[in-house]
Chain A
Amino acid sequence: MAKPKVAFFDFAGCEGDQLQVANLEEELLDLLGQVEVVSFREVMKEHSDNYDIAFIEGSCTRLQDEERLKQIRKTAKLVVAIGSCATIGGINSLRNDKDLDDVRKTVYGEDARLFDSYAARPIDAVIPVDAYVHGCPITKDEFLSVVKSLLLGKKPDIPTYPVCVECKKNENVCAFERGQYCVGPVTRAGCNSCCVNEGTICWGCRGLVDNPNENSEKEVLIKYGLTVDDAINKFKLYFGWQERKR
């Protein structure tokens, strides 16, 4: 069988997710044994419009970008959103609560009208998406495991429980205990609670758990006297788009 052809695309993002892929180094070379990369602007000059799997980084923030996305959907058999900007709207959706004209003027002043833009949204708000690699940035391991599942024709296994579950397993002192806030109780796990392990808090980068009313970490919420909505609204860094849809 011919190796599947894969291509990487980026929209409004920071390229941090593609960098994680470039950082695979030797594992990337291994992966190259199984797939053929036909387009990856971070590391290669060649480009082809003939691909089977499209990895998309970044949010859609302009009407003009929708055309490009639709073209990708037409060409690719599988579309994979990589990183929060692409999977949930991510950090870009911070601006969605604000008046977009003001936002443009803050950055570009009088020339704001030159820069067209609308509410930042995830890729699946524009085209159907087949698989998700969450995180800001994605982790190399999860990327590899999602790719492997896809190559085997399996559905990737993505946690539906909150970060607290991993955090407790790791025996961290809870951020609330340290007098800080944390959105781990409503955030989708899968990162091994890495930010709390490093001494900070969960900022919510992997997005809300599916159906937060059921799947959030009730025990922690009750202990600190919070409702699910409190936890979600505590500081909406990443949940902007998801929250609006709820």
Chain B
Amino acid sequence: MKKLMLGNEAFARGLYEAGCKVVSSYPGTPSTEITEEVAKYNEVYAEWAPNEKVALEVALGASIAGARSFCGMKHVGLNVAADPLYTASYSGVNAGLVIAVADDQGMHSSQNEQDSRHHAIASKVPMLEPSDSAECKDFVKLAFEISENFDTPVIVRMSTRVAHSQSVVAAEDRQELELKEYIKTPQKYVMMPAYAKGRHVFVEERTNKLTEYAETSPLNRVEISENAEFGVITNGAAYQYTKEALGDKASVLKIGMVNPMPVKLIQDFAAKYEKIYIIEELDGIIEQHCRNIGVNNVQGKEIFGYIGEIPQSVIAEKILGEKKEFVSLDENIPVRPPVMCAGCPHRGLFYCLKKLGVTVSGDIGCYTLGAAAPLNAMDTTICMGASISGLHGFNKARGAESEHKSVAVIGDSTFMHSGMTGLVNIAYNNSNSTVIILDNSITGMTGHQQNPTTGKNLKGDPAAAVNLEELCKAIGIKRVQVVDPYHLAETEKAIKEELAADEASVIISRRPCALLKYVKHNPPFAVDSEKCVGCKACMKLGCPAISVKDKKAVIDHTQCVGCGICQEQCKFNAIK
């Protein structure tokens, strides 16, 4: 049956149809729904791992054991999983191993705009790149075949537009596969120097074979247009923009296998036209490949640049000189940035940090919104886990002067992902640092996934829960306090105490995310306009439910969840 499916949903369908048995992933926009969707099929074992490195190692283990397996992540996740990736390239697979990596051209929800094709090239692993949902499903199935035929992991590169656009897909049946036999083969799976040397030779031979395969593979497709005066080489979402902008004005070579790329296919295509445009988002990888193989009638990055998406309007303007007409209002339209939800447990904590004027070594999650106005309570955010290790470095550089007035903040999922090791470093290398774990019992930012602290697994079934207090103590932190961030006074007191202490400490700020279904909320609060003097003290919290009308605060009862922190702020007892 034909259905509209998100690219991610179609990807999951492809995994199911290909007989995939084991899935281990870590969430990250825009890759998350692949794993959430595949978990709905009972034939597939699927889990959230604590981080991408663990996830990829699990999937590789399952592949060696003989089951088709999968691991999904966002682009920066592949940096974390790079270590197993580069050696899995050498060990190869037993049953097929497919990895999804989702790039975020345009940085709709990421901390950088890296081009993950570099990882495929550097690790010498083949990479496929679909352009719509139907291709997502087809490419995944083909990826398993390539993986098994060439003895290699295969990466499928997604992008925000392909992952989060729905297009028409025809579902097919699942191919049920027997486990492949596992034969002990240390020359292949024990990558110590003596064996790894042999495997490196294999990897180089494999790349040659894959390049040959790329010449004739259906993944790369030439679309000749009789009217065309020039050619375009393109990949991924940019293929769709190209077709939309140029129609039959261009002949197109669509690269579906972005590593390794064909040689003769490109040379022959480029020889047909005087001018070839290369329309690829982010880095100029196809373009560089063209130059490397002596194809020099190409233009790409000098026209389109390295930043963001290359949508149809840009292509039409740069190549055809056409621009769409539009009107806009001569009016200042205020921006609408994302904000922490009404009743978000992170708000109270950040309010206290702002009030105390401390330096905040931040991390990635919903709480990164604490960096925005009106809280403005974050100094750094680099990558997952960097809050804790970064604070340690900051304190080692500046000593006691900063130790008593700086903290690290990190979410529960992020702490499990890569914060723990930083805390071990603080205990081991003896820094007087204060770490705050924002335990909202969920992975909020990426759309509410379970994690090792929540007591549930990906399928929603009960699971072991890490006890954060005991874990921190076992790591060697003697001072561990738990506070409720809905109680501002208690929270502020705890932060002051731990900043004053002369040893490392952890504060666990514990309160479940306000959007979780099981959370029971208090009835909404309202402002007594007789009592409100319009001092705007409550506005400093940045709760989206509070606004000011006619110089008095008003609370939107449809948004308010009755957390009560604004009431605690009001000196005139106007909030009830």
Chains A and B come from one and the same complex: no
| Contacts from B to A (Cβ < 8 Å) | none
